[in-house]
A and B are shown apart, each in its own frame.
Chain A
Amino acid sequence: MSAAKNSLLSVDAHTKKRNAAEKRFKAYGLSAIIIAMLALAVLLTSVLSTGLNAFRQTYITIEVPLPETKLDKSGVRDIDVMKKVTTIGYNPLLRDGLLVAIEAAGITTELSNKDIGKLISKEAPATVRNHVLANPDVIGGSMTFNLLASGRIDGYFKGRVTMESAALDGNTSPEALQLAQDLKDAGLIQTRFNWHFIFAPDASDQRPEAAGLGVAILGSLYMMTVVLVLALPLGVAASIYLEEFSPKNRWTDLIEVNISNLAAVPSIVYGILGLAIFINFMEFNQSSPLVGGLVLTLMTLPTIIISTRASLKSVPPSIRDAALGVGASKMQSVFHHVLPLAAPGILTGTIIGLAQALGETAPLLLIGMVAFVREYPAAYSADAGLFGEASTALPVQVFNWTQRADPGFVERASGAIITLLVFLLIMNTIAIILRRKFERRW
C-alpha cells in the first residue's frame, strides 16, 4: 500500500488535483480567446457585409443633349449668363437623354416621364452642369455621361431594395426597378468600383449615392498631422525630463499623479476644454482640423507620456552608468543610448495614441466637427490658414451617417467604418514595421 503510494508510476491525489486545475485554467484561457475571436468575426462579417457595398456604385450611361437655347441664352458662352441656368434647368435634359436611350434600346415601360427621370440621382444634374461650365465648348452638341443612378436603383442592384419593398416605397416603384433591370440588360446601367466614395465630399440627406468620405479623410489626416507634430515632441520631451532630469520631490510626484489621472479623463471633457479655450477664448474657427487636432493632442499627450516613461524606465540603468562612466554628459547618455533603446516602445505608444485619437468622436462633436461639410476645404485660405477651414473626421462621419433617415446611408456608414479600420490597420502595421526595424539594429 505504502509502496504504491510512493511510486512515481502512479499519480497521487494531490498531483492529480494540481494537474486538473492547470487543465481547467488552460481551458478558461482558450475559451476566452475563442469568444474574442467569435466576437471579432461577427463584427467583421456584419460590417463587411453591409459596408463593402459602399465601395461599388451604380451608374447610368446616357447621351445628354446640350442645346444652346437652354444652356446659353447669350450665345457667346458668357459664363455669367450660363451660370444663371441652375441644376433644375439641366433636369429635363437628362430626362430627355434617358428617354431617348430607353427608346433606342427598345424597352417599353408604363412609367410616366417624370418617374423615369427619378432613376437618375439628384446629384447628376450638378455633375453635368459643372462639366458644361468648365468646358463651354460642348454646348450645342451632345455628350455621353456616366451619371449616378438614384439611391433606390443602386440599392436594388446591391440587394438592399426589392420589388416588395419598392411597392411600399414612395420614392420608387416595382416598375422603376423593372425598367432599371431592363436598362442593365441593355448595358446602359453598370455597377462598378466607387472611387467617388473615397474622394467625394459628403452629400445631403436625399442623395446617399453621392456621399463620400473625401473631406472626412482629409480632416482626419490634418488632425493626425497636428497631433503628431505637437504631441510626439511635447510628450517625449516631457517624459525625458520627468524620467531622467527632474528631481524626485513632491512637485514631480504631483505632476506624475496628474498625468496618470489625465489619461483616464473621459474624452468628452477634453472637448469641453477645447470649446472653452480654443474656440471661445482663442477664437479659432469652429469645426476646423486645427482645433480638432489641438483637442486630440491634449487627449493623446498623457498616453504618450506614460508609455514613453515606461519605455525609458525599462532601459537598464547599467547603460546609463556605462555612458556616464566614459565621461558622457547626462544629455549625451540619454540621447545617444537611452532614447534609441526606448524608441520602439515610444513609437508603439505614440501610434497607439494616434490610433486612439483617430477613432475619437465625442470631443469632436463638442467643437463642431459634426457639421455637414459638402465642399472640400480650400487648400490654404488666407484668414483660416492651412488647417483652419471647416472639415469633418472619419468617426464623426460615421456618427453623422448613422443618424440619417435614408437606408442608403447605412451602407455608407459601414463603408466608413471599414475605411477607418483600414487606416488603423495601416498605422498598426507601420508601428510593427518600425519596431522591428529599430530592434534589429541592436
Chain B
Amino acid sequence: MQVMTQMDSQMSQDTNIKISAKNVQVHYSDNHAIKDVNVEIEDKAVTAFIGPSGCGKSTFLRCINRMNDTIDICRVTGEIKIDDEDIYDNRVDPVQLRAKVGMVFQKPNPFPKSIYDNVAYGPRIHGLSNNKAELDEVVERALRRGAIWDEVKDRLDAPGTGLSGGQQQRLCIARAVATEPQVLLMDEPCSALDPIATAQVEELIDELRKSYCVVIVTHSMQQAARVSQKTAFFHLGNLVEYGETDKIFTNPEDPRTESYISGRIG
C-alpha cells in the first residue's frame, strides 16, 4: 500500500493518461488483425474493450504487455507508450514490462501449487521481499486486494487448483497484483464464471480501479456498462469508437456501434 501511495504522489499531475497507442498494426502472417488503432487509456479507471468475436480486442490487449511476443507469426508495428516510454523499444525487456503490466486470463489458470506459492511466485522471482515475514505480508496484502483472503487464510497450503472457479479467478487476480503492477489487463475474466462469482469479480474490479489502470476485455455489454468508465468498440480489427461508457451505450456516434449494442451485429 505504501509503495502505491508514494507512487501516486510522484505521478505527474498534468496528465492522467497511462497508456497511449499510436497507429498500432498487428499481423498474424498475412492476416491483418489490428488496423491502425489509436487510443489513450486513463490511469485509475476501468477501460472496457467490447466487440464481436475475432474483432481483435484480445489481440490488442495482449499487445499492451507484449504477450504476443510468444506467438512466432505475430508482428506488431506502431507505438504503444506506458508512462511515455515506448514498450516496443529494443531496450525494453518484456519480462520487466510484464511485472509492471499484470494480466488475468479468460480461464482461471492457477499454478498447480499451494495458494500461498501461487501468490508468492511473482514477488519471489522479482525479489520483492527479503525474508519470509515480508513475503507473508506481500501475500496477505495481495490476497486481501484480490478479495479472497477471508476465504483462504486458513488453508494457504491447500492447492490453488482445488478452489472453485470464481475463487480461482480471484486468486489469479491476487497473483497478478502481488508483483505490484501499475496496469492490470483482464481478458474476459468472467466468461468462465457463474453469475455470483461474476458479481464478486466485478465488485473487485471496481475496487481495483482505485489503485490501478484496469483494461478489461469483455463479451458482455452489461458487464462493460457496469464496471467501466471508458469503453472502446472494436470491429473487424478497427477501433470504431472510443469514449465515455455512458455515451457509448446511450448515444453512440458510429452506426456500427449502435448496431452492435442494439444486438443487430456481432
Residues in A lying within 8 Å of B, measured CB to CB:
247-248, 316, 318-329, 332, 336-337, 341, 442
Q: In chain B between 132 and 162, which residues have their CB closer than 8 angstroms to a CB of chain A?
A: 159, 161
Which of chain B's residues have a CB closer than 8 A to the CB of A247? Answer: 72
Report which of A318, A329, A332, A336 forms a contact with B105, defined as CB distance below 8 A: A318
Which of chain A's residues have a CB closer than 8 A to the CB of B16? Answer: none
**Residue B112 at the chain A interface, CB threshold 8 Å:** yes
Contact with A along B237-266 (1 / 0, CB 8 A): 000000000000000000000000000000
Please tell me if the beta carbons of A327 and B109 are within 8 angstroms of each other in the complex: no
Please report the C-alpha to C-alpha distance between residue A328 and residue B103 in the assembled complex, in whole angstroms: 12
Q: In chain B between 115 and 134, which residues have their CB closer than 8 angstroms to a CB of chain A?
A: 121-122, 125-126
Closest to A341 in B: B112
**Residue B31 at the chain A interface, CB threshold 8 Å:** no
Please tell me if the beta carbons of A326 and B107 are within 8 angstroms of each other in the complex: no
Contact with A along B68-102 (1 / 0, CB 8 A): 00101000000000000000000000011111001
Please report the C-alpha to C-alpha distance between residue A316 and residue B95 in the assembled complex, in whole angstroms: 21
- What is the size, in residues, of chain B's interface with A at 8 Å between Cβ atoms? 30
**Residue B57 at the chain A interface, CB threshold 8 Å:** no
CB<8 Å pairs between A and B, sample of 21: A247-B72, A318-B109, A319-B111, A319-B112, A322-B111, A322-B175, A324-B67, A324-B98, A325-B102, A325-B103, A325-B104, A325-B176, A326-B99, A326-B121, A326-B178, A327-B95, A327-B97, A327-B122, A336-B125, A442-B113, A442-B159
Please report the C-alpha to C-alpha distance between residue A341 and residue B107 in the assembled complex, in whole angstroms: 19
How far, in Å, is A246 (CB) from chain B's closest CB? 10
Q: Output the residue of A316, A324, A325, A328 with the most chain B CB within 10 A.
A: A325
Report which of B97, B98, B112 forms a contact with A326, defined as CB distance below 8 A: B98
How far, in Å, is B206 (CB) from chain A's closest CB? 22
Report which of B98, B102, B121 forms a contact with A336, defined as CB distance below 8 A: B121
**Residue B218 at the chain A interface, CB threshold 8 Å:** no
How far, in Å, is A328 (CB) from chain B's closest CB? 6
Report which of B99, B107, B122, B161 forms a contact with A442, defined as CB distance below 8 A: B161
How far, in Å, is B76 (CB) from chain A's closest CB? 16
Please tell me if the beta carbons of B102 and A326 are within 8 angstroms of each other in the complex: yes
Please report the C-alpha to C-alpha distance between residue A332 and residue B172 in the assembled complex, in whole angstroms: 18
